[in-house]
Amino acid sequence: MAASPAARSKVAGLVLAALCLGAAAAGLVSLWARGRATFAGDNPLAALEAAEHVDPLNWLYPYKRAELLQRMGRREEAAALYRKALSLNRSCATCWIGLAEVARATGGD
């Protein structure tokens, strides 16, 4: 027996509401992780790593860690994190620039 148009419309509305709720929850988790990383206190590297565990698909966390590591002279670790950020966001121009700066500083390609 086929469902009435009103019943189908109600189901579609419920599905849409559930999808919106899921997207909102994911956004809140990402916002929370970003807030923790921003107000890291004494160890921003650890805070960014923790934020990355909460939101592993966000390219910004490995990129920010790479920036910090590069400033600290830890270029090999920085290069690996720039590559990780690029695997999540191929269009990150600053990731490409950071990787090029590491290569120039280490004499690599």
Rounded to two decimals, the pTM is 0.63
Domains contained in the chain, CATH given? 8-106 (1.25.40.10)
Please tell me which residue, 8 or 101, carries the higher pLDDT value: 101
Residue-averaged pLDDT of the chain: 83
Angle (nearest 5°) at CA 14 between 12 and 20: 105
For 55-95, how does the pLDDT look when each residue is reduced to its tens digit (9 = 90+)? Answer: 999 999 999 999 999 999 999 999 999 999 999 999 999 99
